[in-house]
Structure formats: structure tokens, C-alpha cells
Amino acid sequence: MSIQLELKVTAGKPIYRGHDHYWSVIRDLGKNAHFTKHEIAQRSNDPTDKCIDDFLGRLKKAGYVETVESTFGPTAKNGRARRDVYRLVKRPAATPIINRDGSVGQQGLGQLHMWNTMRALSGFNKHELAVASTTDEVSVSVETASRYARLLEDAGYLQVLRPGGAGVARIWRLKPSMNTGPNAPKILKSKIVYDANLQEVMGTPIAEECAA
């Protein structure tokens, strides 16, 4: 018999890091003024700022931000560090998915396209979701569309308009109250260690995003 575990997320200290968070901060800082990495770091809890550096590098190569000024100043260890001032050039609501070389990344684009489709349609089945979410750059299969919709249904995002059955496709719509914003809900897979002797999950579960 397979083991089924119900993982519960409890309230705790928010984690202010990751591309989605950095992008929301950059969009806010860049509305009416230039900004620096230090200002992003002040609104984040990235202990090393390396992830902020990496994201800014991607945005710069892709043309979303540009450097308008560079100055050099002292560091706490009596060294000298460069301080770049940036200007926001493009500010889409959804977080840009960018590879390190500045090219458009594919990770999560399928989910983003499906989310945008769900937000635009008053009702859809898995076939309509797949077709409307497929572009020249991203292909969304019917199986992928069905899986994503089922997971969002289980999470409370989607209302079932028609249950479906043999030869009849299930129809959903996005609940207006769950139209939470431009960034797609991400599906994560968790790597956990389960001790069958103790019947406990040992250590801290680690989750990573699944591509779609």
C-alpha cells in the first residue's frame, strides 16, 4: 500500500525573496524614480544579495532595466565597491522569465499562459484551455491543461460548471475572488524524507517548481 501524506503549511515569517518578490519591488521602486540594488535588498531578506544580483543581471541583458549611473564607494571592510543606479525600462505586471544569457526562459511559461487564459475566459474545458494557451513559442498539451486545472480546482481557484463524464469534458471557470493577480499559481514538487518506523517526515520538506 502506498503512503499518502498530508502536508500542512502553517503561518510564519514571510520569505521576501525570489524573482516574483524582487520584480514587485523593482516595479514599485521604478514607478517614479531610479533605484539601486541596496534599495531592493532593504525590502528583501536575501542574506547575501547574490540572488538579487543574478536577477538584475538577467533583467539588464533582456532590456528590462538599464544602468544610468555607476559610482564607487567604501565598504565596511575598507574596500571599494561599485554602486549601480538603475532605471526601469519595461514593467509588465507578470514577472519576466529570463535565462542568465538574457533570452526568454521556458520554465513556468505554460502555467502563465494557462493562467492568463483562465482569467480571460468565462468558462473552459481542458481542450479549450490547451488550445488557447498554446503559442508559437510554448506548446500546452491537453494532458498538461487538465492536470493544471485539476490542481487549481483542488486548491480552490476554479469552480466546476459541468462535472463531465464519459465523452463529456469537465468545464471550469476561475472564481472571481481567486483572480489574485498576473503571476500564475505555481505547482511545486516536494522532496521529503519519510521514516516509516516513526511515521514522521524528517527534516525540512524542500519544494521546487514544476515546469509546464
pLDDT tens for 72-87 read 877 666 777 788 999 9
Instruction: Report the pLDDT averaged over residues 18-28.
Output: 93
pLDDT digits (tens, 9 = 90+) for 123-166: 999 999 999 999 998 999 999 999 999 999 999 999 999 998 88
Q: How far apart are CA 95 and CA 165, in angstroms?
A: 37
Per the prediction, the chain carries an average pLDDT of 87
Q: Among the residues of the chain, which ranges form H helices?
A: 19-29, 37-42, 50-62, 109-120, 126-133, 142-154
CATH architecture for the domain at 109-184: Orthogonal Bundle (1.10)
Q: Please, where in the chain does CATH 1.10.10.10 lie? A: 19-88, 109-184
Nearest CA-CA partner of 184 in 60, 95, 103: 95
Query: What is the third-level CATH fold of 19-88?
Result: Arc Repressor Mutant, subunit A (1.10.10)
> Would you place residue 48 in the very low, low, confident or very high pLDDT band (cuts 50, 70, 90)?
confident
Q: How far apart are CA 194 and CA 9, in angstroms?
A: 17
pLDDT of residue 102 exceeding 90, the answer is: yes
In degrees, rounded to 5, the angle at the alpha carbon of residue 91 between the alpha carbons of residues 53 and 85 is: 40
Helices and strands in the chain, H and E counts: 6, 7
